Amino acid sequence: MPEPQSITADAAHAIVSVVSIPRRLQLYSITDHELTMLFSAYSSPTLTFLGLGVGAAISFWISLLTVSGLDNSAHAAFLAMAIGASVLAVFFGWLSYRAWRQARTDVTKIITSSDGQP
């Protein structure tokens, strides 16, 4: 096992450079209701159902397209489940997009009402 090396302060200055970047921090006043609206857009159950729908649709379509020798009833069942999961994935995707877009609008309203400029 190699031995640890000690680095002197002069050697550290030669290797490491520290750059200070000024930043501007703005604080906005928001109510509990506004904070809950913003949080709910990114943690809504529609995102969970979107993930489940997309995963199920992919699974059913891959199974349907790769398995051969299915009888007609099994093929119809897989086709129905693939189409149903695809429709649900599109539906929950649309709901998730609407919630995300509404959250962006709410952020713009909060910023505008806080300092008068968008």
pLDDT recorded at residue 5: 56
Tokens standing for 99? 């919630």
CB-CB contact of 44 with 96 (8 Å) = yes
pLDDT along the chain (118 residues), means of 10: 55 61 77 75 81 94 89 92 96 89 80 62
pLDDT recorded at residue 82: 95
Q: Is the pTM of this model over 0.75?
A: no
End-to-end C-alpha distance for the chain, whole angstroms:
58
**Dihedral sign, Cα of residue 51, residue 53, residue 58, residue 59:** positive
pLDDT recorded at residue 116: 52
Q: Residue 81 phi/psi, 5° resolution? A: -70, -35
